[in-house]
């Protein structure tokens, strides 16, 4: 049987650095569970490491992709009950491939009623949003979010309202997101409205920022000293200068929470997420065959995109 995987063997722009490689599917290492992949999303969190931005800890050669869903097709006797189940093979080798062999401790079973395209996106953004809201509770607080059109910001914003936030302002680069964000009860602002952004930031209690650069500096310049500024991404590719008299600067990286979590607590996080994901509003999933991965990445780069490109990993069967 043949496996296919999207490898990067050097750093570079993903469209240049990735190659689709076929190889004979080897024997499953003892103790692992083999998952035949169905689909995986394309997230900034998957693409940024390929560029070398985290070169100090993520080095090629690697199969790309951190999340996705599949069906368990092979397991040892102790994990035999998992065969046939849909599951997330997480925290192992890359997921942008046909088959993933995964440590069963980190494998997450998917509830039967959860849509496959939602399950495929249940890890990186939902878990980051959940952990951030647990670390910086928002009840009764005014919240500002950046990268407002992103999946992560939509989850953060909606779940912040459910957790009792007083208001949630979302700053977007593209106005194409405004209507759908307003439907969620969020207050959309364009990055091209600096005065409105400054007004919202000056009364904010907490900001969750995934953009960095000048936008982060504009928020930091006016946020109250007692507020929290949580940096969790640098989509602009630019860093920012903290302001000594400004808000408390916090950084969030999901990976920092993963180093110490034990399997029981890990599984508990997902039990908490399932009901939240059932009522979540994720962007439409748009599926691309694995062989069309270049089109998927090109679509990912479209400014104002209102869908999540997904790789169909079962299209060859
Ligand atoms: N720290 C962590 O542990 C952690 C965990 C999960 C996610 N994240 C971060 O969360 C962010 C969002 O991820 P996602 O998967 O939710 O993204 P996504 O759904 O793919 O959406 C990306 C969004 O980013 C916006 N964007 C891209 N470049 C931008 C720029 N230079 N300035 C302003 N906006 C820009 C896009 O705006 P347009 O609509 O205008 O194209 C788009 O709405 C990423 O930075 C990711 O690294 C971090």
> pLDDT (tens digit, 9 = 90+) per residue, 170-202?
999 999 999 999 999 999 999 999 999 999 999
Q: Are residues 241 and 293 in the same domain?
A: no
Measured from the CB, is residue 284 less than 6 Å from ligand 1?
Answer: no
Q: Are residues 211 and 230 in the same domain?
A: yes
Rounded Cα distance, 250 and 247, in Å: 9
Tally of structural domains, the chain: 2
Confidence of residue 143 (pLDDT cuts 50, 70, 90): very high
Q: From ligand 1's centre to the CA of 32, what distance in Å? A: 33
Q: Are residues 200 and 246 in the same domain?
A: yes
Q: Are residues 101 and 129 in the same domain?
A: no
- Domain membership flag for residue 271: no
Supply the pTM of this predicted model.
0.97
HSE, side-chain direction, 13 A CA sphere, residue 198: 9
Q: Are residues 139 and 239 in the same domain?
A: yes
Measured from the CB, is residue 232 less than 6 Å from ligand 1?
Answer: yes
**How does DSSP assign 118-186, residue by residue?**
HHTTSSHHHHHHHHHHHHS--TT-EEEESSTTSHHHHHHHHHHHHTT-SEEEEEESSGGGHHHHHHTT-
Q: Is a pLDDT exceeding 70 seen at residue 316?
A: no
Q: Is a pLDDT exceeding 90 seen at residue 315?
A: no
Judged by phi (left if over 0) then psi (alpha if -120 to 50, else beta), residue 164 lies in: left
- Domain membership flag for residue 132: yes
CATH number of the domain residue 237 falls in: 3.40.50.720
Q: Are residues 131 and 246 in the same domain?
A: yes
* Neighbouring-strand partners of residue 13: none
Alpha carbon of 205 to those of 10, 63, 150, 165: distances in Å?
Answer: 42, 40, 21, 10
Q: Which domain, by its residues, includes 14?
A: 2-121+282-312
Rounded Cα distance, 52 and 189, in Å: 32
Measured from the CB, is residue 203 less than 6 Å from ligand 1?
Answer: no
Q: Are residues 298 and 217 in the same domain?
A: no
Atom in ligand 1 nearest the alpha carbon of residue 252: 1
Rounded Cα distance, 71 and 222, in Å: 49
Atom in ligand 1 nearest the alpha carbon of residue 210: 45
Instruction: Name the average pLDDT for the chain.
Output: 96
Confidence of residue 44 (pLDDT cuts 50, 70, 90): very high
- Domain membership flag for residue 268: no
Q: Are residues 93 and 136 in the same domain?
A: no
Q: Is a pLDDT exceeding 80 seen at residue 317?
A: no
Rounded Cα distance, 97 and 36, in Å: 9
């Amino acid at each position: 049987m043949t496996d296919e995987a999207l490898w990067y063997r050097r750093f570079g722009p993903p469209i240049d650095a990735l190659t689709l490689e076929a190889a004979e599917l080897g024997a499953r290492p003892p103790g692992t569970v083999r998952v035949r992949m169905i689909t995986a999303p394309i997230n900034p969190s998957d693409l940024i490491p390929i560029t070398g931005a985290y070169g100090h800890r993520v080095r090629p050669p690697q199969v790309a992709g951190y999340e996705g869903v599949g069906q368990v097709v092979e397991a040892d006797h102790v994990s035999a009950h998992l065969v046939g189940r849909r599951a997330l093979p997480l925290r192992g080798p890359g997921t942008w491939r046909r088959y993933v062999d995964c440590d069963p401790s980190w494998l997450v079973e998917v509830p039967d009623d959860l849509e496959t395209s939602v399950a495929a996106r249940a890890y990186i953004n939902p878990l980051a949003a959940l952990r951030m809201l647990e670390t910086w509770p928002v009840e009764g607080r005014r919240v500002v979010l950046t990268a407002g059109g992103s999946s992560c910001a939509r989850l953060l914003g909606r779940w912040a309202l459910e957790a009792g936030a007083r208001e949630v302002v979302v700053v977007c680069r593209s106005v194409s997101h405004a209507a759908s964000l307003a439907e969620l009860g969020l207050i959309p602002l364009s990055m091209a409205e600096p005065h409105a952004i400054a007004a919202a930031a000056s009364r904010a209690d907490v900001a969750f920022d995934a953009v960095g650069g000048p936008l982060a500096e504009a928020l930091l310049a006016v946020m109250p000293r007692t507020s929290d500024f949580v940096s969790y991404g640098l989509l602009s590719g630019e860093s920012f200068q903290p302001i000594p008299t400004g808000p408390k600067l916090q950084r969030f990286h999901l990976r920092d929470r993963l180093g110490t979590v034990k399997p029981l607590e890990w599984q508990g996080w997902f039990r908490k997420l399932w009901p939240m994901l059932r009522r979540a509003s994720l962007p439409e999933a748009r599926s691309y065959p694995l062989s069309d991965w270049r089109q998927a990445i090109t679509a990912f780069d479209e400014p104002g995109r209102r869908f999540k490109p997904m790789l169909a990993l079962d299209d060859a069967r």
